[in-house]
């Protein structure tokens, strides 16, 4: 089941240095962490969400639609975090996003 708070929790756990999350993240994408920042594409975030919360049926298109309508950045703001686009592409699935601190 999709839940904005659980998606936000992934980013908060990363900021807190959660070893389980970081190990799964590195296993799914060894190049995800650069200079202590997490870089990802939506497909990778979907895979991590599915893996971390042990979900067996998660439709990527449903995830993508959900995430664009969920208040993720609003929830992260309370933790002084936000998600930004590192590299925009012609199709949203190819965009590269990153987690950073907010001001």
User: Domain of 18: which CATH number?
Assistant: 3.90.1150
Residue 44 backbone dihedrals phi, psi, to 5 degrees = -70, -40
pLDDT for res 62 = 92
Residues 32-78: tens digit of each pLDDT: 998 889 999 999 999 999 999 998 888 999 999 999 999 999 999 99
Residues 13-42: tens digit of each pLDDT: 999 999 999 999 999 999 999 888 999 999
Residue 92 tokens read as 């949203």
Domain of 31, in residue numbers: 4-101
Question: Domain count of the chain?
Answer: 1
Percent of the chain with pLDDT over 70: 98
β 37-40/33-34 pair status: antiparallel
Neighbours of 76 (CB within 10 A): 21
> For residue 2, which of 83, 84, 61 has the smallest C-alpha distance?
61
Give the predicted TM-score (pTM) of the model: 0.92
Q: How many CA atoms lie within 13 A of 10 on its CB side?
A: 25
- d(CA 11, CA 7) in angstroms, rounded, equals 7
Residue 12 tokens read as 């908060």
């Amino acid at each position: 089941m999709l839940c904005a708070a659980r998606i936000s929790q992934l980013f908060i756990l990363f900021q807190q240095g959660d070893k389980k999350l970081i190990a799964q993240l590195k296993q799914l994408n060894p190049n995800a962490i650069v200079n202590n920042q997490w870089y990802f594409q939506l497909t990778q975030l979907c895979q991590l969400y599915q893996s971390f919360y042990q979900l067996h049926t998660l439709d990527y298109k449903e995830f993508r639609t959900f995430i664009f309508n969920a208040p993720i950045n609003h929830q992260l703001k309370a933790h002084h975090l936000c998600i930004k686009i590192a590299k925009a592409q012609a199709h949203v699935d190819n965009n590269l996003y990153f987690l950073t601190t907010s001001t």
